[in-house]
Chains A and B, each alone.
Chain A
Amino acid sequence: MSNGFLPTTETVHAESAEMVAETVRRAGSQRSAVYPIGGATALAFGAATETPGLGLSLARLNGLADYPARDLTVTVGAGMTLGEFGRLLRKENQRLPVDVPQAAAATIGGAVATNFSGPRRFRFGTIRDYLLGLTAVDGSGKIFSAGGRVVKNAAGYDLARLLVGSLGSLAVVTEVTLMVKPVPEASALLGVALAELRKADSLLASLVESEVEPVAIELAAGALPRQSPLRLGDGTAAGQLWLGFEGSETDVRWLVDKAAACCRQLGAEPRLIDGAAEAGELWQTLADFPAPDGQPTLTVEAAVLPSQTVAAAESLLKLDGGAAILCHAGDGIIVARFACPPDRAAALASDAREAIRLTGGKAAVLSAPAESRLDRSAVWGPATEALGVMERVKRKFDPQGILNPGRFIFATGTP
């Protein structure tokens, strides 16, 4: 199976960690690359690679190993989809409060490898904050485990955290243990249309002073799709700020009232979404913002200090007024979607990176049209001074350089 992104010659469907290890060892002996695949929702993420190799699907490693729900911990196979995982937790009125795009298909292993997150990041952090331990297979085909199954553990090095966001370049995750949280009683979103984007700054600054603590602070701007539930007002707004609240009924009611008063004080009439279905759809829209929509799109994710969010969003809009932008403003994360023919992607990515650099931040490409074949520097940007030590780590875990070669920040070939 070839998928347009990875030069895979065949795909192995692993049934066990041992089979993963065996596959990696076999590939190693043949000096062939290994491309781990979970839900195949993020194949467009990472640099284009030409090294042919094996696809290694983890989708069948989707079993539940242990769920002592009263401990609020759970151990599952890396191939379990987040959708399935969510349903499992829901039975115990628990959840993993990390928003991963296309959750129905994306897998837990993929979420670890990509470190995707969404609106709730502001209050709940990223998957790293829930990952207690894991089992994985390194580039030499050795199975190892790291961390444990307790919520607090200071023994040894936390190799699980090292694998978060490493895009499968150090090891193939086969099983993870996560800490989970109780499902909150209530959830609501409050939206405000902004005549100009700058207005968001004063609103966000006033939030710091107030006692209002949302779980998500989302700022949407630019050319949102006409039918997007994120849009507010008559369509002339420069942006819309969405504040998400979760907690007990009493808490959410108090927060919504207080936040609404805050908005009115600054001359904005807020819109409240608190019906379960409607709020659910809105959360979903926010979480799925980076997901592909069938059009040729360059999706860039920028990170700046939270106070620079609006400035960074504006600078990206200046590049292309037709971009659609969603900021997780509390964290300084900006996701920008540019309608973009494949041949323009590299130049646009580079312009976006430069714009973000000027606001003190960093940018990476989340996805680009398959045909654009962006290289490492286009996707990840120029090498930083810490790359040297990271390459040393890579060599220790994948001495032959066979895991996802060329897709992450590391050069291909045997180091």
Chain B
Amino acid sequence: MSLDVVLFTAIASAIAFSALAVVFSRNIVRSALWLLFTLIGVSLLYFLLGAEFVGATQLIVYVGGTMVLVVFGVMLTAQQQFLKIRIRPQEWLVAGILASALFVLLVTTSFHLGEGKNSPPAEPMPGSGPLGVGFLTQYLLPFEIISVHLLVVLIGAAYLARAKRRPGGNRD
């Protein structure tokens, strides 16, 4: 067994365990914490694959930004009665059957797709230099669209989440 296989097995089982814990923990704060571990595990997986820039971006944007947003959302909305909302068993049954059927389908497809790709090619992944050049030449249009999109989204989010004044003058 090579080092890659050992590392992949460790990271993948950590990711799978924490993803399951996100689904099955009743408490929404614990779900958020397990989601944090899942995201960190995925970024470790990117480092293992040799995509350092994507791994670093995942750590900075997801773990540093999106998770903080989610935790703030939990803090601003969670009160004791909403922390644990009960789910009926038949909903679990239907969702579980759907998800496991889809999982079997996807794994079958994965085995077809992965045929013949048993070892990674020798040349390393392009690093941040080729990525930056690519973003400013070949992928300039998606890059610009996504920058404007991000600006629009942030203005829209600030507009939606602003503190409103009621006609009486009381703030929400």
Q: A and B, one complex?
A: no
